[in-house]
Amino acid sequence: MNGGRGRLARGAIGIGISVVALVLVLRQVDASRTVAVLAGAVPGWLALMVTFQLADVSLRGLRWQRLLAPIRRVALSRTFDYLLVGYLANNILPARLGELVRSHYLGDREGISRTTTLGTVVVERTVDTAVLVAIASLAILVLQVRGAVASAVLVGLALSGLLVVGLGVAIVAHRLPGAGRVVAVAGRWPRIHDLGGRLRGGLAVAGRPRTLGQAIGLSLLAWSATVVATAAAGQAIGLQLTTGQAALFASGTALSTAIPSGPGYLGTFELAGVGIGTVLGIPAETSFALALIVHASVLVITSLGGAIGFLRIWRRSPAGHASPLGRPLERRS
């Protein structure tokens, strides 16, 4: 009961933050001018934007498959399905609960511990965040950006550093002084001890140089595709962004999704887009239109892809399991 109330409270807070963000955006822009900018969008450039957004998602699916490879070989098509179902859940649920959803379905359907699978997701998110913040940091250096945007990126840089350090400590925790004593204490609760071991099994993929190198390389390619997609979206509305500007806009709006908000990061994404556009000297209405185009396209792609992935998982449900609509008969921690 308390857990349910807690989730409702967090969801209400997130929705409240989204509403406040949208109000702040609408106070800065002339909605009619934004509509006029959107009405003049060039279809060809929009198609190019969608093409590179699809490439981004494809590279992310391949990245997760490579992180899973040391544990279990999962077909790329099935990895995409689980990934997109998670993205669909992120569009609907607060607090990135989609990461748990995709870990659940992949672990259950592929015969892998769900906790171990979650460990690979933690590695993926850490690598992704580190690469994203590195791109944003490089962009503010090239563009010589100052103020709130630069400060936010620097905070992100510090947090990503903590994530990387935390991941490293988790991987080598069993070798640290006093680790034996901690293990002995944890042994009093076998369930917790077992879950900790399974989680570390997933985190351990970051200790493989080749696997980690592939994840970093694919992350760079994925974010490069996102930057190109952002530049194409700008061209669609008559905005010629430099590579640095497109990189800052793409990375800054992506970092804004870490802020607790309502489903689909509605409001916070647009507020970040208007703020970054102002720093770059772009009119607020044009920045708002750019954020709306990019955000809406991502939501449509991931939601449609997630729905298709969900149906594919349901159709290939193995004998002895319930469909994704029901409760699995076989439980894996």
> Tens digit of pLDDT per residue, the chain (333 long)?
555 565 666 677 888 888 999 999 999 999 999 999 999 999 999 999 999 999 999 999 999 999 999 999 999 999 999 999 999 999 998 777 899 999 999 999 999 999 999 999 999 999 999 999 999 999 999 999 988 788 887 787 777 777 777 777 766 554 445 434 444 444 554 555 466 678 888 899 999 999 999 999 999 999 999 999 999 999 999 999 999 999 999 999 999 888 778 888 989 999 999 999 999 999 999 999 999 999 999 999 999 999 999 999 988 765 334 444 444 434 455
CA atoms of 173 and 118, how far apart (whole Å): 18
CA atoms of 295 and 266, how far apart (whole Å): 9
Q: Which of 68, 176, 77, 66 is nearest to 117 (CA)?
A: 68
Number of alpha carbons in the 13 Å side-chain half-sphere of residue 295:
25
Domain ranges of the chain: 10-315
CA–CA distances in Å: residue 188 to residues 70, 183, 332: 30, 9, 21
Long-range CB pairs of 41-47, under 8 A, 24+ apart, other chains included: 41/236, 41/237, 41/293, 42/235, 42/236, 42/237, 43/236, 45/232, 45/233, 45/235, 45/236, 46/232, 46/233, 46/236, 46/293, 46/297
pLDDT for the residue 326? 41
Contacts of 82 (CB under 8 A, 6+ apart): 102, 105, 106, 109, 309, 313
Provide the token pair at 158: 């510090």
DSSP string, 109-153: HHT--HHHHHHHHHHHHHHHHHHHHHHHHHHHHHHT--SHHHHHH
Provide the token pair at 102: 């995709």
**CB–CB of 142/227 below 8 Å?**
no
pLDDT for the residue 327? 42
Q: What angle do CA 143, 146, 149 make, to 5 degrees?
A: 95
